Amino acid sequence: MKKGIFQDFDGYDQVVKDIESSRRWGAGYSADTHGADQYINQLHPARVRLRVSDVIEEPPTAKTFRMVSETGYLPPFQAGQYIALFFDFDGLRTSRPYSISSPPNQVGYYDITVRRVADGLVSNYLLDDVGPGHTFESSGPSGNFYYNPLFHGRTMVCIAGGSGITPFMSMVREITERGLDRTVVLFFGNKDLEDAICHDEITRLGQRFENIRYIPVIENPPPGYDGATGFITGALITETLGSISDKTFYLCGPQGMVDFCLPELENLGISRHKIRREVYGAPRDISTDPAWPEGIKTDEAVRVRVAGKTEFEARAGEPLLVALERSGVLVPSLCRSGECSMCRVKVTSGKVFQPAGTPVRKSDRQFGYVHSCVSYPLEDLELIV
């Protein structure tokens, strides 16, 4: 251990003795061996190099991309977590998070299942241009949308909309493949039945396993369809479950679906801490947020100056992160939905709109930091990135 100011601390000599003795026995736990760092990096690497080994059609709107590690090692994950894939489109550097849809017990690969978003940059690229052999840089598995056996009870009520089924596919596959003692009641909302990703597989699992109950809910049902229709409402949930006690609720899907289902659950008396949610990205039209300031149009132009870097024009209705990326400013990002705080930037002048509930730390608020993926410029801004 290097000598320095530490030798003046009480107990310094004892710590040095302990380190020397553990080195003699081959343990070597001192910080300067970086053993702990290496171990943590292996479990939670910042970057993983992935190669597409197979593409599975999920007609008509989605595909599953099976990814293997270029180095042969894939970090472990919990069912429900996501990876962020990084892209460089002729200098436009961006990322998108995708939940892992394969179960954690399949250690040789990660599946991600991507649904086409109309006019979407990355989803269309993945579905149209990416095939076996394609490589990606990815984050390690991230996010905290997963089952916790200590706090979540044995019954999971999962509510998915559209592509929001993917983390639940990982959970249901893990439970059925490993024979876990856990019950899932899965509501899955879609506009049309044919859009429901993995519908046949979940139907089969629901028929085979007593602890998997599947309730597809279709907005525009086809003729002869005799399942639930419309939206996933509180009434449908109570009718299906009977009692809501001792259950944890998991909500996943686009903002509109989460905004609809959350009050439905709260109106049933389910407390917030029993409701876990994952929102798939920033809202499509932020001006529909009840707190959006009156009189500000989403196409209103504002100037953004990034100290020491650049100045550009942005639109009030577009997340700041998207405008920064378009202007060539690289901001680290992972979840792109306000949760992980990776995309923090400091606003030194001007005002942004952040939807209520964005989990910004108190100290960040105090010093002007915002989560740029869910921050919308309301006036000219000066930033430090």
3-state secondary structure at position 376: strand
Q: Least distance to ligand FAD from the beta carbon of 155, Å?
A: 24
Assess 199 for contact with ligand FES (CB under 6 A): no
User: Which one of ligand FAD, ligand FES, none interacts with residue 240, CB within 5 to 8 A by kind?
Assistant: none
Residue 240 or residue 298: which is nearer to ligand FAD going by CB? 298
Assess 338 for contact with ligand FES (CB under 6 A): yes
Q: Least distance to ligand FAD from the beta carbon of 113, Å?
A: 6
CB 85 within 8 A of CB 114: no
User: Which one of ligand FES, ligand FAD, none interacts with residue 99, CB within 5 to 8 A by kind?
Assistant: ligand FAD
3-state secondary structure at position 323: helix
User: Nearest CA to 92 among 269, 277, 330, 286?
Assistant: 330
Q: Least distance to ligand FES from the beta carbon of 95, Å?
A: 8
Assess 79 for contact with ligand FES (CB under 6 A): no
Assess 103 for contact with ligand FES (CB under 6 A): no
Using alpha carbons, list the distances in angstroms from residue 24 to 2, 20, 35, 204. 18, 6, 16, 58
The binder of ligand FES chosen from 265, 336, 353, 383 (CB under 6 A): 336
Question: Of 23-31, 211-219, 231-239, 333-341, which segment contacts ligand FES by CB under 6 A?
Answer: 333-341
User: Which one of ligand FAD, ligand FES, none interacts with residue 334, CB within 5 to 8 A by kind?
Assistant: ligand FES
Number of residues this chain uses to bind ligand FES (CB under 6 A): 12
CB 141 within 8 A of CB 82: yes
User: Nearest CA to 144 among 36, 270, 252, 255?
Assistant: 252
Residue 66 or residue 96: which is nearer to ligand FAD going by CB? 96
- Cα-Cα-Cα-Cα dihedral of 225, 221, 115, 111, to 10°? -20
CB burial class (10 A; 0-12, 13-18, 19+) of residue 170?
buried
Amino acid at 326: R
The binder of ligand FES chosen from 19, 74, 127, 373 (CB under 6 A): 373
3-state secondary structure at position 266: helix
Assess 320 for contact with ligand FES (CB under 6 A): no
Assess 333 for contact with ligand FES (CB under 6 A): yes
Assess 94 for contact with ligand FES (CB under 6 A): no
Question: Of 168-176, 212-220, 310-318, 331-339, which segment contacts ligand FES by CB under 6 A?
Answer: 331-339
Where do we find the tokens 């892992």?
100
The arrangement of strands across the sheet holding 247-253 comes to 228-229, 212-218, 183-190, 155-161, 247-253, 275-279
DSSP 315: E
Residue 182 or residue 277: which is nearer to ligand FES going by CB? 277
Residue 274 or residue 371: which is nearer to ligand FES going by CB? 371
User: Which one of ligand FES, ligand FAD, none interacts with residue 199, CB within 5 to 8 A by kind?
Assistant: none
- E strand or H helix that includes residue 234: helix 234-241
Assess 277 for contact with ligand FES (CB under 6 A): no
Assess 371 for contact with ligand FES (CB under 6 A): yes
Site for ligand FES in 155-194 (CB under 6 A): none
Q: Which residues bind ligand FAD (CB under 6 A)?
A: 82, 96-99, 112-115, 117, 119-124, 143, 163, 166, 254, 278, 280-282, 284, 335-337
Separation CA 145–CA 252 (nearest Å): 9
User: Which one of ligand FAD, ligand FES, none interacts with residue 119, CB within 5 to 8 A by kind?
Assistant: ligand FAD
User: Which one of ligand FES, ligand FAD, none interacts with residue 170, CB within 5 to 8 A by kind?
Assistant: none
Separation CA 134–CA 122 (nearest Å): 14
The length of the chain is 385
Angle at 123 between CA 120 and CA 127, to 5 degrees: 130
Separation CA 323–CA 332 (nearest Å): 14
Residue 120 or residue 368: which is nearer to ligand FAD going by CB? 120
Rounded to 5 degrees, φ, ψ at 318 are -115, 135
Give the binding site for ligand FES (CB under 6 A).
333-336, 338-343, 371, 373
